[in-house]
Amino acid sequence: MSEGKKQDIKDAASGTIIDTILDVGSESVAELAKESMTGFIGEIAIDTGASLIPGLSGAISGYKRARFERNIKNFTVELSSRMDEIRINLENKTEEQKIKIENLYNYVMDYVIDEQQEEKIEFMVNGFVNITEHDQITDDFVLTYYDVLKDLRMVDLSVLRLMYSSWYLADQEEKETFYDVMDRHGIDYDQYESVRRNLLRMGLFITSTDLSIIDDFKEITKSFNEIYKYLDKLTNPRHKGSLPRLKEPKIKSKDRLQISKFGKEFVEFFLNIDRD
């Protein structure tokens, strides 16, 4: 890439990220990302990377510099591959909506810079693409989702994806199993169960008990009423008829884990799973 072309991209990137995406061709951004991966770390990955993130260049300091470089390179590559989608999403947005997305983008970049597992940056970009699809989206929504993603490790995401697939992609020909997840991440079954319990604690999983507890309460209440009527007739000397037959309550709840509504929406927001 020529020096003049590099400078043109840098100049375009000196404004907001929205202006950059709308003004700079996705092919040029992809080419820039490719060069940053092959030797332009000092000149491109840091200088241009910082330019693409207005106001965050001061984050390049101390021991975080190397991680910053890696994360920005990965982010640039992932973002460039989705540039056409983002541009389409932004074209019909109002100026107010663009400003809002710009602010949310800066939030996302805070998570990108501090992320310890580089593989998760792909999911962060997926999330940002989904943000640009919305006409109205709140800070709390974005921060909640990205806070949860920050607290999850890749093994957590693999187990979450597995549960999602088992519930919503049941007709897949080649289904991944928990053995595959355990083998890929080098964990044993006890560790796998620990991950599942952690996902339950974070609200991404739910138990069948949680879903059925209201129905079970109604069933128990019904049984108590039947017992009361039985005892009332049993102790009533004037009752001459046969006693009613007591039925055992049918309790539906079991302590079985499944994906929660929040977990389903979380997967679809970040993991970019095709359900077709």
In DSSP notation, 202-246 reads TTSEEEHHHHHHHHHHHHHHHHHHHHHHHHHHHT-TT--SPPPPP
Pick the residue with more confidence: 136 or 255?
136
Q: With respect to residue 56, please indicate whether it lies within any of the assigned structural domains.
A: yes
Q: Give residue 174's domain range.
A: 154-204+260-270
Verify that 90 and 10 share a domain, yes or no: yes
How many angstroms separate the Cα of 82 from the Cα of each of 26, 77, 88, 130, 276? Answer: 8, 9, 10, 11, 20
Mean pLDDT of 211-233: 54
Q: Which H or E run contains 259?
A: strand 257-259
Has residue 129 got a pLDDT over 60? Answer: yes
Q: Which one-letter DSSP state was computed for residue 156?
A: H
pLDDT given at position 68: 81
Verify that 79 and 9 share a domain, yes or no: yes
Q: With respect to residue 245, please indicate whether it lies within any of the assigned structural domains.
A: no
Mean pLDDT of 149-171: 91
Least confident span in 89-98, 152-161, 172-181, 188-197: 172-181
Verify that 62 and 108 share a domain, yes or no: yes
Structurally, how many domains does the chain consist of? 2
Question: Of 118, 145, 176, which residue sits at a domain end?
Answer: 118
Q: With respect to residue 141, please indicate whether it lies within any of the assigned structural domains.
A: no
Give the CA-trace dihedral at 65, 70, 72, 74, to 10 degrees.
-170
Pick the residue with more confidence: 217 or 196?
196
Least confident span in 84-98, 174-188, 234-248: 234-248
Mean pLDDT of 23-46: 47
Verify that 102 and 37 share a domain, yes or no: yes
Pick the residue with more confidence: 230 or 190?
190
Query: Could you tell me which residues come within 8 angstroms of residue 251 by beta carbon, excluding any fewer than 6 positions away?
Result: 216, 219, 220
Q: pLDDT of 48-77, one tens digit each? A: 454 555 554 554 455 567 888 889 888 888
